[in-house]
Amino acid sequence: MLQSFVRCLSVFLVSSFVLACAADPPREPCDLVLRGGRVIDPASGFDGVVDVSIREGRVVALGTPAPSACEGVDVTGLVVAPGFIDLHVHGQDTVSRDYMARDGVTTALELEAGALDVDRLLASSEGKARIHYGVSAGHILARVFVKHGIRELHGNMASIGATGWMTERATKEEIEALVSTLEAELDSGAMGIGMGIAYTPAADQRELRAIFDLAARRDVAVFVHIRAQRNPQDVAPLVEVLELAEASGASLHVVHINSSSAAAIEKSLEMIDAASRRGLDVSTEAYPYTAGSTFLESALFAPGWRKKRGVDYSDLQWVETGERLTPETFAKFRAEGGPVILHFMRPEWIRRAIAHPGVMVASDGMPMQRGAHPRGAGSHARVLSRYVREEGLISLSDAIAKLSLLPAKRLEAVVPAMRNKGRIQVGSDADLTIFDPNRVSDRATFEEALQYSEGIEHVLVGGTFVVRDGELVAEAYPGKPLRGAAPGARSGSD
């Protein structure tokens, strides 16, 4: 009797298993499915051809056949990557964000210069942003406010009597006011503290230490443009901020290590690695061009700049006209104030930075206008074309990590939303960049910056197409403001 029961039960279980296998597997409902693309997830190391199903702005399935009711987009032959995250974008206007989107960027942050009135600034773009955005608390802007009572910079640095905030030391009371001002911005959602020490040579160790101490106390990173070098081999500016980070316990991110280090790039990267091994939370970034761009009226062009940089007037390109400068035009335009492109880096310095493990890619993109530096339009596609496809300097997976995962991880302890970005996994945000690895390339040049990258076929922000079939989608503005969370609120998910 018992044997007969066991035999019947076995037949029933086997039959049930066969029937279950013959039926369709469970399928997630979805709004959209990307079919047949090569999905690269730098977080897990996955690299394979699977469908990506999206619902309500999130990835809900990978590889599971999607219901036929889902809208399907054939991306066969294309790479599906996490949307690119740029930590260093000065162009926070609509036009500049359009160029970023066409370059595969889904999140563009202003973390070097930062901002004041974070609440108002973030609110001003709601419903009008093609991609996600956010800011740090800006030390330079706070210094202008504390010293001059000016809360917003209109026009250029020269127009506000710049010498005061660049060249005057802060008093004890002013330093206290600076710290209070920056802390209020952190309370409003700033992602960290942005410092352009190269532009404030009068900021002494008391002032810098007070701000690093604030960053340590609030558990946020300081995003620093280090002081100008005294010569192209000088590492003293980097030593200064590493020592401040070590003494205060603050996290440190050194912006554009390529232009800040120049010929000392190898030594600088070694120093950052050594600091990490000692336990410092330190990171850095680079952009893939041999020229920088800044304002001619800034402290970077104080007397002696040619000797320090190892360059001359003809290495400067005036953005408004595209002309190379002479001693006469240098004096004229410096008095007027405005953006200039500085040609001074060597290709091997850029390659060294891009190839280094852990170095992120960030554009330092300027507002896009005629004559602007092309990095605001082509940095991300340029890495994929020049350093992956053409030179084989880094692998495609490593490049995607530098463009997406590493920036997300730099911020995720402070910005909960970043825990779901820079990845393609079930539950991650559907911020996705889909490109042709054989065609992707930058088209913007120093002669003509206003050219979109090509080969970026589709870009989704929160599951919404902002670029489709290589063109911007009209009236698609799904970008959201991203905020840093108060320390007590950082353990949860966004």
Q: State the pLDDT at residue 365.
A: 97
d(Cα 130, Cα 476) in Å, to the nearest integer?
6
3-state helix, strand, coil in the chain (%, to 5): 40, 20, 40
Q: State the pLDDT at residue 142.
A: 94
Strands 456-461, 432-435: pairing is antiparallel
Domain 84-290+345-418 has CATH 3.40.50.2300: no
pLDDT band at 488 (very low <50, low <70, confident <90, very high): low
> Which residue reads 């991880």 in tokens?
409
Question: Stretch 436-452: mean pLDDT, rounded?
Answer: 97
CB-CB neighbours of 21 under 10 Å: 8
Measured CA distances, 163 to 148, 149, 166, 202 (Å): 11, 15, 5, 10
Helices (H), 149-235: 163-167, 172-187, 205-218
Chain segment 370-405, per-residue pLDDT in tens? 999 999 999 999 999 999 999 999 999 999 999 999
pLDDT band at 165 (very low <50, low <70, confident <90, very high): confident
pLDDT at 407 exceeding the cut of 80: yes
Beta strands in 176-290 (DSSP E): 193-196, 221-225, 251-254, 282-286
> Which residue reads 């970005």 in tokens?
421
Cβ proximity of 400 and 364 under 8 Å:
no
Question: Stretch 113-129: mean pLDDT, rounded?
Answer: 94
Question: Which pTM does this prediction carry?
Answer: 0.92
Comparing 153-157, 162-166, 437-441, the range with the smallest average pLDDT is: 153-157
Cβ proximity of 110 and 136 under 8 Å:
yes
Residue 189: half-sphere exposure toward Cβ, Cα within 13 Å: 17
Cβ proximity of 302 and 227 under 8 Å:
no
Contacts of 420 (CB under 8 A, 6+ apart): 58, 427, 428, 429, 493, 494
DSSP 107: E
d(Cα 296, Cα 308) in Å, to the nearest integer?
16
Chain segment 232-269, per-residue pLDDT in tens? 999 999 999 999 999 999 999 999 999 999 999 999 99
Question: Stretch 445-463: mean pLDDT, rounded?
Answer: 97
Question: Residue 82: helix, strand or coil by DSSP?
Answer: strand
Higher per-residue pLDDT: 358 or 11: 358
Contacts of 174 (CB under 8 A, 6+ apart): 146, 147
d(Cα 117, Cα 188) in Å, to the nearest integer?
8
Helices (H), 103-171: 118-124, 139-148, 163-167
Q: Where in the chain is the domain with CATH 3.20.20.140?
A: 84-290+345-418
Q: State the pLDDT at residue 135.
A: 98
Cβ proximity of 285 and 255 under 8 Å:
yes
Contacts of 196 (CB under 8 A, 6+ apart): 112, 113, 139, 140, 224, 225
Measured CA distances, 192 to 185, 211, 414 (Å): 9, 11, 8
Copy the structure tokens of residue 24.
């369709």
Copy the structure tokens of residue 469.
């079939």
pLDDT at 47 exceeding the cut of 70: yes
d(Cα 342, Cα 296) in Å, to the nearest integer?
10
pLDDT at 12 exceeding the cut of 90: no
* Of the candidates 210, 267, 214, the residue with the CA atom closest to the CA atom of residue 237: 267
* Of the candidates 37, 87, 32, 63, the residue with the CA atom closest to the CA atom of residue 405: 87
Comparing 67-81, 160-174, 414-428, the range with the smallest average pLDDT is: 160-174
> Which residue reads 């800034």 in tokens?
298
